[in-house]
Structure 1
Amino acid sequence: MFSFASQAKQVGVASYYGAELHGHRTASGARFNRHAMTAAHRTLPFGTQLRVTNLSNGKSVVVRINDRGPFVRRRVLDVSEAAARQLGFIARGTAKIAYEAL
């Protein structure tokens, strides 16, 4: 059984995906909703909740993993547009973040 909770806080770069994928099926089978607090991770189980913090401004959100990705080198999470907006990185497109399972 996978246990992410025993691991330390993870740090990396997050990006977001938005309007162009709204309504499409995610890897979990759910429809992607750019207004929901969701994220994609390469290996974490679907349904895992993460606290994600933008390290440049201290803003945090809680997201639920419902997709796979990101598939861009050096990125650790793809978050929904809503999560990126609350984290404050819509304009930049990416942010250095820390995340931990709840």
Structure 2
Amino acid sequence: AIAGWTPVLDVCVITGEDGPHTALVISAGGVVSDAVAPPGTPHLRPETITLLSALLIGDWAVADASPDGARIEARGIVAAYAQFHLERSIRSLGHIDRTE
């Protein structure tokens, strides 16, 4: 987030329409409304959006209380988002225990 790559999670990054939105387009920088989501765009659980938002602002109580499904989904999003913006594969991600 400090490097300027903060994903937008509260408004559509294309239209500016207030959310909530659950369609995520990493290359666009965040969520988009269903009306402009490209075909095949993944839709996140609302709980995942809440978790990602909490992580961005450091709301650890909300992050700690998030359900397992949201955490699993968020891990994948964070990894994909980082690799997209770094323009490199993060090989060490394969060594992270994803069973928690």
| TM-score grouping bracket, smaller chain normalisation | under 0.3
| Higher radius of gyration, 1 or 2 | 2
Structure number with greater CO (CA < 8 Å, separation at least 6) is: 1
TM norm structure 1 = 0.25
More helix by share: 2
TM norm structure 2 = 0.25
